[in-house]
Amino acid sequence: MQRWKQYGGLFGLFAAFLAAGYWGFTATGGALPWAKRSAKALQRGVQDGGGALVDLGRGIVVAGPIRKGGLVLEFFGLVALLVVVGIGMYVYVDRYGGFEDGERPAR
C-alpha cells in the first residue's frame, strides 16, 4: 500500500483519538491524578475542568501503594530481577537454540 495512505490513516486515527482524549480530559475534571479523576467522575458525573496537559514538574511517580508502603527499593529490585531473567532467557535461547527436547513443548 502507498505510504501516504498508511500515514494518512495513522494520523487520522491519532487526530480522532487525541480529540476524544482532550474532551475526556476536560470533561472528567482537568489536570487530576487518575484515582481522583475516576472517583470524582463516577461519583459526581462529568464536570468541566482545566489545567496543564503536561506537568513535568511532578516528575514520574511510582504508584502510590508502593511509595507509601516504603517498597520503592523492593520494586526496583524486582524490576531488575525480571529484566535480568528475561534477557538471560533471551540470550540462552539465542545462543543454545532453545530448551532440551522434552523439557518444554516447543515447536
Partner 1 sequence: MAHIHLGEGTFPVWALVLWTLVGVGLISGVVYRVRKGGIETHQIALAGIGAAASFAVFQLNIPVWGGIHMNLTGLVGILAGPLLGALIALVVNIFSAALGHGAVGLIGANTLVNASEAIVAYYAFKTLWGMDWDVFPASASAATLGLSAGAVLMGAIIVVSGVNGSALPRGDLTIAVAGLVGLNLGVAVIEGILTGFIVQFLASVRPDLVGLADREPRDEPTGVTA
Footprint on this chain of partner 1 (rule: CB under 8 A): 1, 3, 6-7, 9-10, 13-14, 17-18, 20-25, 27-35, 37-38, 41-46, 51, 53-66, 69, 71, 75, 79, 82-83, 85-87, 89-90, 92-94, 97-99, 104-107
Which is nearer to partner 1, 45 or 73 (by Cβ)? 45
Smallest distance from partner 1 to CB 81, Å: 8
Cα–Cα distance measured from residue 3 to residue 28, given in angstroms and rounded to the nearest whole number = 37
Smallest distance from partner 1 to CB 47, Å: 9
Cα–Cα distance measured from residue 63 to residue 75, given in angstroms and rounded to the nearest whole number = 10
Burial (CB < 10 A; 0-12, 13-18, 19+), residue 26, is: middle
Cα–Cα distance measured from residue 69 to residue 20, given in angstroms and rounded to the nearest whole number = 35
Smallest distance from partner 1 to CB 33, Å: 4
Rounded to the nearest angstrom, the gap between the alpha carbon of residue 14 and the centroid of all alpha carbons in its chain is 17
